[in-house]
Structure 1
Amino acid sequence: MKQWTEAPDASTDGAPISTVDHNRGPARGPAVWRTAVAGGAGSVIEYYDFSLYANLAIYISAAFLSRTDPSTALLETLAVFGSGFLMRPVGALFFGWLGDRHGRRTSLLVSVVLMGLASSAVGLLPAYATLGVAAPLLLLLLRLLQGFCAGGEASGASTYIAETAPARLRGFFGAFNPAGIAIGTAAAGGLAAVVSSVVGTAAMSEWGWRVPFLLSLPLSVAVLFLRSRLPESAQFAKNVRTGVAAASPFRSALEEWPAVVKLVLLSFSMTCTGYVGHVYLNTYLTAQLHRPAAEALGTNSAITVVFALLMPLAAWSSDRFGRRRIYAAAMAGYIVLALPAFLWMAPGSGVPLGLAMAVSFIPWVFAQAVGYPLFTELFGSKARMTGVAFGFALGTILGGGFGPYIAQLLTTATHWNLAPAAYMAASALVGLLTLRFVGRSKIDEPAAESAAGPASKG
């Protein structure tokens, strides 16, 4: 049986790791590129769908939450946005089980189909004026379905790519997933800005906001075709063949509970800083700083795309210098840069909005690029997808799901426009402290083969 001798483990700052046998081994050449691109493309669509809600929150609040107080309606709309994250652990358990028992590829196919259907339905949903109280209730149900699907996407794509890419470039190829997430988020904001500019403010409020949601269905079909042509993860295939695959993935993941706890805290830091400083930023700029929506959405989207394309290079630095070091630098960057960057975004600061945003996005590039590969390395292969999906989902509820709501609530309560930046810095500190307890990578350890006994040698 062919053995693959891997490079030093990047997440452990150069510590040597064991030789790993994946039977067919990691994908090489064009195969690993196809895997990374397909994984990233799926994340583009999933997070395009998932982020549309936050980017169009002002219009959605007017359509589905008829209130005389716009601030109350906006808070309620952001609460519905956060509710989608409540379903992430449920989706994580389902898609984690599906991926650990029936294949990473199967899980990724199902999630992208359901997400496309849910997002398209939001675009077709009658407004409050037509359905009354049933409209926000149906909106809530569709948002919960979106959250259910998102519970398995990022972790599933990350796991699939991590098990396919060679260890010495796991960070580089693993960054295609967060780059796809970033581009999908940017596409949501960018398309919203384009539609707003084309149809005008009145039409955007009346029907234009529905257009980006309706586009999700054909985009999802395209990704479904792309992913359906991918092979199954070689490591998963070997786990099944040798009897290593977990009979109860959730129970097996809980046996690695220290890794789950670390992942919850790390994902909290990554998603809170990301969602407050990136997705919620559009609402902040328009509702708090009264900047034109087209300017906020357009600038955010353009900078996001540029920075997303740099993510593989940012993650490549973790292949060279260690994922813990690069992630720590990103969290420290948030602590140092969040407050001044938000201060510079004010219209009277004299700093161009694009420059202020670019400064605030520097830590985001490295945190997102390195975070996903780092998360997969916390778990062994037996129930990796369930462990990553569940831990990431719990952290994302705390950080990403209600991050925008807490940021808006703090701003409303304190009347301090820098409250969101202070909240980001505090969440970054949580991630920085958690890194002290992150040890060696488990993704290349032969524990699964050893656990299987003699069968693993066959």
Structure 2
Amino acid sequence: MSTSVNSADMQHQKLGQAVFAVGVGNFMEWFDFAVYGFFAVVIGQLFFADQSPVVALLSSLGVFAVGFLMRPLGGFILGPIGDKYGRRAALSFSVLAMGLATTAIGFIPTYADIGLAAPLLLVLMRCIQGLSAGGEWTGSAAFLIEGAPTNRRATYASVISATAALATVAGSGFALWLNNVLTQEQLLDFGWRIPFWAAAPLALVGLFVRLRLDDTPVFKEIQRNRGVDDARKPTVKRNLKAVGLTVCFAAVQGLGYYYLATYVVNYLEVTLRLARSDALMLSAIGLLIYMVLCPLAGLISDRYGRRVPNLIGTIGYVLLPVPVFLLMSTGNAVLIILGLILLGAMQCLVSVTTVVMLVELFPASTRATGSAIGFNIALAFIAGPGPYLGAFLASSTGSPVAPAFYQVFVALVALIILLKWLPESSKQDIFSDDIHWHAKTIVEPSGVTRNPERKPA
């Protein structure tokens, strides 16, 4: 692809609106993630009513897991749409599908009303949610970063990480508020539906803003060069190394977030037997601290690159989970928050660098497809099962530290691979299809080799 792009055309003309458009869609995805998890017990009672309470809960969580399993398929569908028809088209489809499916869950009749059709419809809506989520995170990364200032890509990438945390806190807080203001009968009757109905206005706002924006400068350049020297265009098969590395760092990032956002609440409540309100409050504090740290991680990455901060975060996930779970196992609120701060510090480093590397490691014309495939494979099959494996390890071993072992194992395997093969991508020309791999250097399209870890004169 030609790289002769005017500097005035390298950024979004409406960068603030692009940030808002990405933030709204990402917020909605993770808001749904939080409220479904909180109301899993209620949904199990209403949609699997002919089963025991335990089986009903497991069935509800199984439906929740379906969304994860559909994410890779969503990447295979929405990724090519983003590469062929534009980042805006893929993101608009994603936010619309997510909004419709989430809102529809709030209107599905229960098992008592329509029998077996109720859980079948629930599964269908979760499949649609999973498909749309499969393109949302990576699509948001491409849409935002492809129009961000070159020297501030990671700072803007931090918006995606931070809005996920904010949405999780908001979703859990909203659900907790409903539990406090409604009776159990009201909650079972209509209260659990309210958060799902709230997705409708969020989706409409997100869709309206996204449709009003131009596509990214990178995709405009792809369109200008479409049909020119197509024989030299990269294919997804040529992205396999980037896909493999994405699986590694996305597994660490996704597992860390799912532990921080969902498993910690259950750990504090079930394993340590704290009151649910206390568990939610402590978890929310940890997420809010993580959210505040995300922009700082972006600034660090823009100053020192992607490789070093990501490796520091990954090493942190090898060394810190066992001490953190020892701190939390005391049940002391101060030590629990200290442990969550340590996890949040590592998580912000791996999360923000993951978002920006999803863009920088892939050729422009196959970026949406390649990044979506690698990212969603990691989330579906490695990170997604994390909270369930953590709970299994805690219950089967009787050790409050056992959930840390899975996190350490995943981070250690990823670290071995990333130390050897992860390149420094911060100086990569994201308009180009020419990406040359080396562990610590980048060969730019001009053919000049340089070390991005050394600050240019």
Q: TM-score band (shorter)?
A: 0.7 to 0.9
Equivalent residue letter for 1:134: A
Q: Is the 8 A contact 1:27 1:165 kept in 2?
A: yes
- Paired with 1:445 and 1:217, the residues of 2 have a C-alpha distance of 34
Aligned partners of 1:365, 1:345: CA distance in 2, in Å? 20
1:326 to 298, 302, 309: 309
Q: Deviations over 1:71-115 (max 9, x none)?
A: 444333332222211111111121111111111011111110110
Native 8 Å contact 2:75 2:131 kept in 1: yes
Residue 19 (structure 2) pairs with residue 36 (structure 1): yes
Deviation for aligned residue 1:65: 3.0
Q: Of residues 413, 429, 432 in structure 2, which corresponds to 1:444?
A: 429
Q: Secondary structure at the match of 1:164?
A: coil
Q: What's the RMSD between the two structures over aligned residues?
A: 2.9
CA offsets 1:324-366 (integer angstroms, 9 cap, x no match): 1111111222233322333333474464644443333222222
Distance in 2, Cα, partners of 1:257 & 1:449:
15
**TM-score in terms of structure 2 length:** 0.86
Tell me whether 1:25 sits opposite 2:25 in the alignment.
no
User: Matched residues in 2 for 1:125 and 1:398: separation?
Assistant: 29
Give the C-alpha shift of residue 311 in structure 1.
Answer: 1.0
Give a deviation string over 1:379-437, Cα, whole Å, max 9, x none: 11011011111111111112332222222233333333333222222222233223221
Specify the code of the residue in structure 2 equivalent to 1:131: I
CA contact (8 A) 1:107 1:156 kept: yes
TM-score where L is the length of structure 1: 0.85
Could you say if the C-alpha distance between residues 49 and 199 of structure 1 is closer, same or farther in structure 2, counting changes exceeding 3 Å? same
Distance of aligned partners of 1:410 and 1:62 in 2 relative to their CA distance in 1, 3 Å threshold = farther
Measured in 2, the distance between the counterparts of 1:380 and 1:417 equals: 44
Asked if residue 270 in structure 1 is aligned to residue 239 in structure 2, the reply is no
1:322/1:241 CA distance change after superposition, 3 Å: same
- Partner Cα separation in structure 2 for residue 190 and residue 92 of structure 1: 30
* Alpha-carbon distance in structure 2 between the residues aligned to 1:49 and 1:117: 12
Q: Write the deviation string for residues 183-238 of structure 1: whole angstroms up to 9, x where unpaired.
A: 22222112112222222555435542222111111111111222222211011111
Closer, same or farther: CA 443–331 of 1 in aligned 2, 3 Å: same
| Counterpart residue number, 1:422 | 405
- CA deviations 1:116-146 (Å, max 9, x no partner) are 1111111222233333333222222111111
1:274-423 equivalent positions in 2, closer than 5 A:
274-346=257-329, 348-349=331-332, 351=334, 353-423=336-406
Does the 8 Å CA contact 2:301/2:309 hold for their aligned counterparts?
A: yes
Identity %: 33
Find out whether 1:122 has 2:144 as its counterpart.
Answer: no
For CA contacts below 8 A with separation 6 or more, give which structure has more relative contact order.
Answer: 1
1:151 aligns with 2:134: yes
**Stretches of structure 2 lacking an aligned partner (at least 5 in a row):** 436-457
1:77 aligns to what?
60
**C-alpha distance in structure 2 between counterparts of 1:116 and 1:247, whole Å:** 37
3-state SS in 1 of match to 2:320: helix
Q: Which moved more, 1:267-276 or 1:200-209?
A: 200-209
The amino acid across from 2:371 in the alignment is V
Q: Which amino acid aligns with 1:123?
A: G
More divergent stretch after superposition (440-449 vs 165-174): 440-449
8 Å CA contact 1:79, 1:402 repeated in 2: no
Going from structure 1 to structure 2, the CA distance change for 1:171 and 1:93 (only over 3 Å counts) comes to same
- For 1:384 and 1:184, how far apart are their aligned partners in 2? 26
Cα distance, 1:443 vs structure 2: 4.5
SS in 2 for 1:190: helix
Give the structure 1 partner of residue 182 of structure 2: 199
Is the deviation greater in 46-55 or in 260-269? 46-55
Within 5 Å, give how 1:229-268 maps onto structure 2: 229-243=212-226, 252-268=235-251
Q: Distance in 2 between matches of 1:214 and 1:326?
A: 39
How many residues in Structure 1 have an aligned counterpart in Structure 2?
431
Answer whether contact 1:80 1:143 (CA < 8 A) is retained. yes
In structure 2, the CA distance between the partners of 1:38 and 1:432, relative to structure 1 (3 Å rule), is: same
CA distance in 1, matches of 2:69, 2:143: 24
Structure 2: how far apart are the matches of 1:347 and 1:128? Answer: 42
CA contact (8 A) 1:192 1:297 kept: no
Give me the whole-angstrom Cα distance separating, in 2, the residues matched to 1:264 and 1:400.
10
SS of alignment partner, residue 364 of structure 2: coil
- Residue equivalent to 1:11: none
Going from structure 1 to structure 2, the CA distance change for 1:375 and 1:448 (only over 3 Å counts) comes to closer
Q: 1:413 to 1:312 in 2, by over 3 A?
A: same
2:355 maps to a residue whose letter is: Y
- For structure 1, which runs of at least 5 residues remain unmatched after alignment? 1-18, 451-458
Is 1:218 the counterpart of 2:198? The answer is: no
Cα distance change, pair 74–291 in 1 and its aligned pair in 2 (3 A) = farther
- Say which of 111, 114, 117 aligns to 2:94: 111
| 1:53 has 2:20 as partner | no
Tell me the distance in 2 between the aligned counterparts of 1:100 and 1:247: 14
- Match of residue 444 from structure 2: none
Residues 446 and 308 of structure 1: is their aligned pair in 2 closer, same or farther, counting only changes over 3 Å?
closer
Letter in 2 for 1:448: D
Q: CA deviation at 1:68?
A: 6.2
Deviations 1:215-272 (A, max 9, x none): 1111111112222222110111111111169989x98222211111111122112111
How do 1:136-215 residues align onto structure 2 when only pairs under 5 Å count?
A: 136-200=119-183, 203-215=186-198
1:65 counterpart = 2:87: no
Counterpart Cα distance in 2 of 1:419 and 1:395: 22
SS of 2:363's equivalent? coil
Summarize the Cα distance change of 1:221–1:298 in structure 2 as closer, same or farther, 3 Å threshold.
farther
